[in-house]
Structure 1
Amino acid sequence: MRLLETEIVIDAPPQTVWAVLDDIECYPEWNPALPALRGRTTVGQKVTGTLRQPNVPEREVNPTITRIVGARELRWLSQAPGGVFSAEHIFILEPNANGGTRVRHNEIFDGPMADERWPSIDTNLRTAYHALNHALKARAEALRGETALLHPAVDRDASAPPAGAFTARCGCASEPVEIEVNQAVAHNHLCGCSKCWKPAGAAFAQIAVVPAGSVSVVARRDKLEAVDATQKIERQRCKACATHLVGTVSDPDHHFYGLEFVHPELAIDGYKPKIEFAAFVSSLVETGTPATGMASVRAALGHAAIPAYDAFSPELMDIIAWHKVKLAKAAA
């Protein structure tokens, strides 16, 4: 058995380094040793691609993924027929005290041909893996430094008008839909889910709630339509510009029954309530944000002092859980 060991320290969190390693479709953009790799990186699956190293002809590889520990470890195994040669490729990601990652990039070679090939492995392949390590470092550190656009409201100074009421309009330049909200909003937050309307270029929506009956449509009600009538939160949008104006809940057993949902950024009279938290942050990946960009998103939320959750805030989650208990007691 022979062991090829390399390592590098990357000034980016393991989450970002892992996202780069696991996104094999993008290998052609940065990976000099494995410029092409195709397949699905799940345990038991084969991936196919090309291995490139100096002084050695480029060759096809088709290893099997053998171990995945998200953001910590990735392994795949290549085997020659008859057991004459095997190579287990290993990436181990270790968080360090500075918020970065120590990457141990190793490969274990076994079989009768391992000793025969070792001189080339120890020079040519080692050189290729060092180049891969440095390219991985450059890629991850560049991504870590990207700035995420959370939502335009994040950069505004929050205010709290005494009355709390406001008027909001859709995005139409002429004949906009207009609503009046006669109560101050509560639980104003950023939301990363796929159902909420987001302004152009923003990663998040901005959503808040008011008591049911607080919202009146005062102009162009005829332009409103339901986004999806099957959803528990019945969102209404402008037919022309697709801006969401209000969401209602008609199911009396729903945990948000008695509330209406509004978008405070649509206020036309300077209403700028404080953003309390960000919800469903991980859902951004499902709606198109690259996994490689999530560390930047979370860093931007931290810089803005906005607590980030992958569901609702703990306060709302506790309320929802208690609501389920109430329904269960009533049904008993």
Structure 2
Amino acid sequence: MIRKEIHTEIAINAPASRVWEVLIDFEAYQQWNPFIRKIDGVAKPGNRISAQMHLDNRRMMLHPDVLAVKPEKELRWSGHLYVPGIFDGEHCFIIEPLNENQVLFIQHEKFNGLLVPFFTSILAVTRNGFEEMNRALKERSEKEK
């Protein structure tokens, strides 16, 4: 199976509880998140959510299944394009406390499937989206402590 990964991280000067509060408030995403503009659904393991992504000025709707919700630590989901095995992804948001008022926020995605080698340009745009979201999450979390 063909595999690619994207890993981004950013230090945020806010407690884990604040970063988690911003991350999990899906209704507010349109106000601050340039990459994931909207999420419908409840972050609960086993639930399917709908996520509207913006990739290079294009919208893409995904319907991932929530795998893990660990308050103030991790949100993880997985999904696929069309049918499993073609282009699958497992996305995680990880909050690692550095001290009481600072965290390392990590976005990581593993891609598997037959079409992964043909989507390298989309993967580069996706990395940019992760980085834009990371910066926006930092700004919002630090601003509204």
TM-score range, shorter chain: over 0.9
Q: How many residues align?
A: 142
> Partner residue of 1:47?
49
TM-score computed with the length of structure 1 as normaliser = 0.42
> Partner residue of 1:92?
94
Q: Are the counterparts in 2 of residues 2 and 118 from structure 1 also a CA contact under 8 Å?
A: no
Distance of aligned partners of 1:98 and 1:82 in 2 relative to their CA distance in 1, 3 Å threshold: closer
Distance in 1 between residues matched to 2:55 and 2:131, nearest whole Å: 11
Q: Are the counterparts in 2 of residues 75 and 90 from structure 1 also a CA contact under 8 Å?
A: yes
Give the structure with higher Rg (CA).
Answer: 1
Is 1:133 the counterpart of 2:142 in the alignment? no
What secondary structure sits across from 1:129 in the alignment?
A: helix
Is 1:109 the counterpart of 2:72 in the alignment? no
Quote the offset at 1:79 in angstroms: 1.6
> Partner residue of 1:38?
40
Distance in 2 between residues matched to 1:95 and 1:82, nearest whole Å: 34
> Partner residue of 2:11?
9
Q: Which runs of 5+ in 2 are unaligned?
A: none
What secondary structure sits across from 1:104 in the alignment?
A: strand
What secondary structure sits across from 1:68 in the alignment?
A: strand
Q: Which has the higher strand share?
A: 2
Q: Are the counterparts in 1 of residues 85 and 113 from structure 2 also a CA contact under 8 Å?
A: yes
Distance in 2 between residues matched to 1:88 and 1:37, nearest whole Å: 16
Quote the offset at 1:85 in angstroms: 1.3
Quote the offset at 1:82 in angstroms: 4.0
Is 1:60 the counterpart of 2:61 in the alignment? yes
Larger RCO, structure (CA 8 Å, separation 6 or more)? 2
**Identical positions, percent:** 30
**TM alignment of 1:1-332, pairs within 5 A:** 1-54=3-56, 57-80=58-81, 81-97=83-99, 99-121=101-123, 123-144=124-145
What secondary structure sits across from 1:9 in the alignment?
A: strand
Distance in 1 between residues matched to 2:84 and 2:142, nearest whole Å: 42
Distance in 2 between residues matched to 1:41 and 1:82, nearest whole Å: 22
What secondary structure sits across from 1:76 in the alignment?
A: strand
Quote the offset at 1:143 in angstroms: 1.3
TM-score computed with the length of structure 2 as normaliser = 0.93
What secondary structure sits across from 1:3 in the alignment?
A: strand
Q: Which runs of 5+ in 1 are unaligned?
A: 145-332
Distance in 1 between residues matched to 2:76 and 2:95, nearest whole Å: 12
Distance in 1 between residues matched to 2:113 and 2:84, nearest whole Å: 10
Quote the offset at 1:98 in angstroms: 5.7
